[in-house]
């Protein structure tokens, strides 16, 4: 395997994951049964913002997705931004890539950081 190089912005700043959070593991149809993915996403992102030292207004992009989109929330990312009190101008869009949806969200935020279009972002999936 080749040498692993750090991800950096155009200015040479290192890109890093500085915080993370997820819902607890639960068996299907138990603890979180009946709670829509959009509500779980709002809870996790809201708590992530509360715990981190990064102010919500610094977040310029939120990329989120779910394996099967809900008709009630076709753009789960936008719903999470609006539901957590983040700036309404935050770039928010949803992705879908089967079991790799959350990984795709992380890759998209990393690409935006590398391109220099954002300084901070949140990625997630359901």
Residue 12 CB: number of other CB atoms within 10 A? 6
What domains appear along the chain, each with residue ranges and CATH number?
37-125 (3.40.47.10)
- Are 95 and 105 spatial neighbours (Cβ–Cβ below 8 Å)? yes
- Are 7 and 14 spatial neighbours (Cβ–Cβ below 8 Å)? yes
The DSSP string of 26-73 is: --TTSTTTT--HHHHHHHHHHHHHHHSSS-GGG--EEEEE-SS-BTTB
The pLDDT, as a whole number, for residue 25 is 82
- Per-residue pLDDT of 80-92, as tens digits, reads 999 999 999 999 9
- Per-residue pLDDT of 31-79, as tens digits, reads 888 999 999 999 999 999 999 988 999 999 999 999 888 888 899 999 9
């Amino acid at each position: 395997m080749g040498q692993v190089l750090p991800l950096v912005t155009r200015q040479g700043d290192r890109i890093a994951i500085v915080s993370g959070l997820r819902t607890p593991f639960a068996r299907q149809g138990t603890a979180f049964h009946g709670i829509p993915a959009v509500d779980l996403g709002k809870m996790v992102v809201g708590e992530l913002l509360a715990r981190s030292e990064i102010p919500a207004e610094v977040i310029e992009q939120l990329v989120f997705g779910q394996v099967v989109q809900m008709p009630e929330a076709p753009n789960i990312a936008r719903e999470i931004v609006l539901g957590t009190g983040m700036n309404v101008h935050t770039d928010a869009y949803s992705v879908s890539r089967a079991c790799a949806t959350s990984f795709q969200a992380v890759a998209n935020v990393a690409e935006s950081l590398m391109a220099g279009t954002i300084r901070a972002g949140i990625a997630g999936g359901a």
